[in-house]
Amino acid sequence: MNPSERKKQTHLRCERQRREAINSGYNSLKELLPASSSFSGYNSLKELLPASSSFVGCKTTNAAILFRAAEYVKVLNDSIAKSEEDLSKLRTQYSALELIMQQYENFSMESQPFTALQIQMLQGFLDACFESFVNHVDASSYQAITRSLLMWIEQLDFQRPAEELVAPVYRQTR
């Protein structure tokens, strides 16, 4: 075999190996995609190709695989973004609940056994807080709750004179 023939054979072998590697990559990619096209709404692979594509003498399956893969990656990225947003909301809720739990634990540790009068005073205080909560917190959606809850907490006046909250209870016990 002369040098030019050997060079040609080497080139053909390298080209064949390159095509086999590309086809293997396409097959691997195709296996990673969902079997159904339910995520995209396309019924056939040709529907994924741009309208300007010509199908005459062209193998469309590899191009269609690339389009499906690109669309599937977009779907996965959207799903990841939504999951991260949901996780962030859940972490915020968890932190708020931890803070509330810690405050209740501190409150219960510091308090002594209640007398009937103290229980009535606490009930009056909690009833006033609940009434204020119902009147000022918008419960139409999670975002509305968080927005209005924070505003309610900032506006809530825990320092009101005691007689405003406990005067009715005090009058009842006399």
CB 142 within 8 A of CB 89: yes
Would you state the pLDDT for residue 28?
87
Would you state the pLDDT for residue 161?
46
pLDDT digit string, tens, across residues 57-104: 555 578 888 888 889 999 999 999 999 999 999 998 888 888 888 887
Q: Which residues contact 31 (CB under 8 A, 6 or more apart)?
A: none
- State how far the alpha carbon of 145 is from the alpha carbons of 96, 97, 142, in Å: 13, 14, 5
pLDDT digit string, tens, across residues 112-169: 666 777 777 777 777 877 887 888 888 888 888 888 888 877 777 665 645 566 566 6
CA dist., res. 139 & res. 50, Å (int): 46
Q: Give Dmax (Cα) for the chain.
A: 120
Would you state the pLDDT for residue 114?
66
Q: DSSP label at 114?
A: P
CA dist., res. 33 & res. 107, Å (int): 55
